[in-house]
Amino acid sequence: MTDTTRSRSSVTMTVNGTEQQLDIDNRVTLLDALREHLKLTGTKKGCDHGQCGACTVMVNGRRVNSCLSLAVMHQGDEVTTVEGLGSPEDLHPMQAAFIEHDGYQCGYCTPGQICSAKSVLEEIRAGIPSHVTRDLANVVMNDDELRERMSGNICRCGAYANILAAMKQVAEETA
């Protein structure tokens, strides 16, 4: 008989502004905690290996592949999913821009793309450099920066130009 009491943990995190307490197996990923335990199915399970970005959420303001992160690692953290950005009645500017620019085709990758796109703009505003940043003291938003930073989010339908247009629109509106 194995001792299962040590294989579970109680985790409290704030998800989309609401404190959530979960009693979960220590092996449950943040993605599965969101989808299976909290029924927030906007975040998608794509590859389940951190290669496609469909599961991207924001943890304490930074984007994370939720399939690669265990839920127990997020005690006390603030997690934002696509559901936490806006609602159909009150869209976040990035959600509205994706609709306006057809930044989605089949829509499967869209929640991760939107969360990542929002975070990318915040990274650039904060002056966090990427692999293509030319001047580390002056991070400038341009197409190369946006493409590089979004490279972890795959769109099998190829809506990249439309996603870029949506991001640029939001960047201009919030400048």
Average pLDDT of the residues in 122-135? 96
pLDDT recorded at residue 52: 97
pLDDT at residue 2 is higher than 80: no
The residue among 115, 99, 96 whose CA lies nearest residue 43 is 115
Cβ within 8 Å of residue 60, ≥6 positions away:
77, 78
Average pLDDT across the chain, whole number: 95
Give one word for 50, left, alpha or beta, with left for phi > 0 and alpha for psi -120 to 50. Answer: left
Q: How far is CA 129 from CA 52, 65, 136, in A?
A: 22, 19, 6
For the segment 129-147, what is each residue's pLDDT rounded down to a tens digit? Answer: 999 999 999 999 999 999 9
The pLDDT confidence band at residue 1, using thresholds 50, 70 and 90, is very low
Average pLDDT of the residues in 108-120? 97
The residue among 34, 40, 56, 47 whose CA lies nearest residue 156 is 47
For the segment 50-91, what is each residue's pLDDT rounded down to a tens digit? Answer: 999 999 999 999 999 999 999 999 999 999 999 999 999 999
Q: Which domains does the chain have, with CATH numbers?
A: 7-85 (3.10.20.30), 93-173 (1.10.150.120)
The residue among 45, 175, 88, 133 whose CA lies nearest residue 56 is 45
For the segment 41-52, what is each residue's pLDDT rounded down to a tens digit? Answer: 999 999 999 999
Phi and psi at residue 18, in whole multiples of 5°? Answer: -115, 130
pLDDT recorded at residue 108: 94
- Using N-to-C axis directions, what is the helix angle for 93-100 and 110-125, rounded to 10°? 120
pLDDT recorded at residue 3: 55
Average pLDDT of the residues in 112-129? 97
Total-model pTM: 0.93
